[in-house]
């Protein structure tokens, strides 16, 4: 299988984690377009030096937009805030950069030659949609398109479904309401197939990753995990809830009152490096929905054998979800949040650590970036009939065996134009 991955130059966590996962499980088989050096681990580069960017920016300035691309607002550019200095963020696994990154002419040639089995529109930002619309105008035929709605809001960005008619839509934040509603404007003869994604913890398979910045000695993920057993837990609970959702202020007040009254060990908000250290030294940590439905903390907490206490009102559909009292602890009100924390922290039977250990194992098995890539490939084969090569199949089978990973997922799919 050969995949064309159309992405944005600015960091988008959802698409970047899919990019990382696919490169982990299909090395050498995923081609990025347009070329973005930071996707390969380069610390920074100036976007205006890229010929593809100059072409698109000029076309946008003249108002000569490809079919389906909405007009630009006054002062709007191809990137948020018209930023042109791209910085490397959030990439743990760095795939090797091609010696001669393909330009648009070469991508068109390869598409027309049938080199690619699949095109991924990795998000709905200006650059990937503009780039794909240009390709669509030039090629004789396009392989199946998979659209990843990587936004952090409930709404389905169905404009791009109308423009590109993707064979599958994956949605970062998928709720039962969005799933049942499907598309609001029907497309005659088109069937929407929409699926959720697993979570994707960046560090599961990369224990050598060094946390933080600066010249001081910095810990690796592996070093923290080697000392995350119950005997190393210095804090009872961790919560740091910025006021991006009204209930967070109330939750912080309730948690402050609880820990002071019960004398639970705690530490306040910390920087990224210290945050990971604190997670590894804490018995349980709390994830509450913020400005979007989900939070990355939900993905990070179990990685350090720390019990995940999660907001059960987030309503997100995830394949292979965590389960209450088995791999995580879920609450549905402030009263249940504080009462459950009190209950589990007061327990002396080892129940909390059993949940933390099971949660860590569940995250390792089903919610790494590689697991997201494998889930994606399984669904593409199942729904579209696009096949892996024998070597790719053997490699992924070996990965599944090592993970004791089940690809038998019978989750919800919108399969009608509703």
- Give the C-alpha separation, 409 to 174, whole Å: 16
Instruction: Give the residue-averaged pLDDT of 113-138.
Output: 97
Do 79 and 93 fall within a single domain?
A: yes
Whether residue 417 lies inside any domain: the answer is no
Strand pairing of 145-149 and 118-121? parallel
Number of domains in the chain: 2
Strands (E), 274-328: 282-287, 307-311
Whether residue 22 lies inside any domain: the answer is yes
Residue 8: per-residue pLDDT: 97
Do 188 and 243 fall within a single domain?
A: no
pLDDT-derived band at 253, boundaries 50, 70, 90: very high
Domain final residue, candidates 339, 366, 393: 366
Look up residue 104 and give its two tokens.
């648009």
- Helix (H), strand (E) at residue 3: strand 3-6
Q: Residue 342 in contact with residue 262, Cβ under 8 Å?
A: yes
CATH code: domain of residue 297: 3.40.50.2000
The angle at the Cα of 268, spanning 267 to 274, to the nearest 5 degrees, equals 80
Look up residue 9 and give its two tokens.
């130059």
C-beta neighbour count of 88 within 10 angstroms? 16
Residue 415: per-residue pLDDT: 41
User: Cα 207 to chain center, whole Å?
Assistant: 19
Whether residue 382 lies inside any domain: the answer is yes
Whether residue 216 lies inside any domain: the answer is no
Whether residue 416 lies inside any domain: the answer is no
- Token look-up 């959720």 returns 196
pLDDT-derived band at 416, boundaries 50, 70, 90: very low
Whether residue 282 lies inside any domain: the answer is yes
62-118: per-residue pLDDT in tens? 999 999 999 999 999 999 999 999 998 878 999 999 999 999 999 999 999 999 999
Q: What are phi and psi of 283, to 5 degrees?
A: -75, -40
Do 30 and 75 fall within a single domain?
A: yes
Do 251 and 389 fall within a single domain?
A: no
Q: Which string of b and e fits 258-274 if b means at least 16 CB within 10 Å?
A: bbeeeebebbeeeeebe
Q: Which domain holds residue 79?
A: 3-200+369-403
Asked if residue 187 has pLDDT above 60, the reply is yes
Q: What are phi and psi of 7, to 5 degrees?
A: -135, 175
Best CA proximity match to 156, nearest among 130, 182, 176: 182
Instruction: Give the residue-averaged pLDDT of 33-40.
Output: 96
Residue 86: per-residue pLDDT: 95
Do 182 and 34 fall within a single domain?
A: yes
pTM of the model: 0.94
Do 104 and 149 fall within a single domain?
A: yes
Kindly state the DSSP code that residue 288 receives in the 8-state scheme.
-
Do 182 and 294 fall within a single domain?
A: no
pLDDT-derived band at 161, boundaries 50, 70, 90: very high
Whether residue 163 lies inside any domain: the answer is yes
Secondary structure class of 59 (helix, strand, coil): helix
DSSP per-residue letters across 219-276: -BHHHHHHT-SGGG--EEEE----SSSHHHHHHHHHHHHHHHHHT--B-----HHHHH
Best CA proximity match to 306, nearest among 267, 340, 352: 352
Q: How many residues does the chain have?
A: 418
Whether residue 215 lies inside any domain: the answer is no
- Give the C-alpha separation, 75 to 72, whole Å: 8
Do 196 and 232 fall within a single domain?
A: no
- Give the C-alpha separation, 269 to 258, whole Å: 17
Best CA proximity match to 128, nearest among 83, 66, 86: 66
Look up residue 113 and give its two tokens.
């030659």
Best CA proximity match to 157, nearest among 123, 120, 195, 196: 123
Do 30 and 158 fall within a single domain?
A: yes
Do 327 and 373 fall within a single domain?
A: no
Do 346 and 378 fall within a single domain?
A: no
Secondary structure class of 332 (helix, strand, coil): coil
Do 25 and 115 fall within a single domain?
A: yes
263-298: per-residue pLDDT in tens? 999 988 777 778 899 999 999 999 988 777 767 888
Q: Residue 83 in contact with residue 126, Cβ under 8 Å?
A: no
């Amino acid at each position: 299988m050969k995949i064309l991955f159309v992405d944005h130059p600015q960091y988008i966590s959802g698409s970047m984690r899919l990019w990382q996962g696919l490169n982990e499980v299909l090395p050498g088989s995923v081609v990025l377009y347009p070329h973005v050096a930071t996707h390969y681990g380069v610390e920074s580069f100036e976007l205006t030096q890229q010929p593809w960017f100059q072409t698109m920016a000029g076309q946008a300035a003249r108002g000569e937009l490809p079919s389906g691309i909405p007009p630009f607002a006054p002062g709007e550019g191809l990137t948020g805030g018209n930023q042109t200095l791209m910085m490397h963020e959030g990439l743990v696994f760095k795939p090797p950069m091609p010696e001669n990154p393909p330009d648009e002419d070469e991508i068109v040639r390869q598409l027309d030659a049938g080199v690619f089995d699949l095109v991924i529109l990795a998000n709905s930002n200006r650059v990937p949609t503009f780039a794909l619309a240009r390709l669509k105008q030039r090629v004789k035929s396009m392989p199946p398109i998979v659209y990843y709605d990587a936004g952090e809001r409930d709404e389905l960005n169905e404009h791009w479904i109308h423009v590109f008619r993707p064979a599958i839509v994956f949605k970062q934040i998928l709720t039962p309401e969005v799933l049942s509603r499907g598309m609001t404007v029907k497309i005659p003869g088109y069937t929407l197939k929409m699926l959720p994604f697993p979570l994707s913890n960046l560090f599961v398979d990369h224990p050598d990753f060094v946390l933080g910045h600066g010249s001081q000695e910095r810990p690796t993920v592996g070093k923290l995990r080697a000392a995350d057993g119950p005997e190393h837990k210095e804090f009872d609970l961790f919560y740091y809830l910025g006021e991006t959702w009204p209930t967070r202020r109330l939750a912080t007040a309730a948690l402050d009152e609880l820990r002071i009254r019960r004398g639970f060990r705690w530490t306040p908000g910390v920087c990224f490096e210290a945050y990971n250290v604190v997670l590894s030294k804490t018995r349980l940590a709390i994830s509450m929905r913020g400005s979007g439905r989900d939070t990355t903390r939900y993905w990070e907490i179990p990685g350090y054998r720390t019990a995940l206490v999660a907001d059960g009102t987030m309503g997100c559909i995830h394949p292979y979800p965590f389960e209450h009292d088995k791999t995580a602890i879920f609450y549905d009100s402030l009263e249940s949040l504080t009462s459950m924390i009190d209950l589990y922290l007061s327990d002396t039977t080892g129940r909390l650590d059993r949940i933390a250990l099971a949660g860590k194992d569940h995250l390792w098995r089903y919610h790494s970036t590689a697991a997201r890539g494998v889930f994606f490939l399984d669904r593409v084969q199942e729904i579209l009939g696009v096949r892996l090569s024998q070597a790719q199949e053997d490699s992924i089978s070996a990965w599944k065996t090592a993970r004791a990973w089940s690809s038998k997922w019978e989750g919800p799919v919108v399969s009608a134009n509703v």
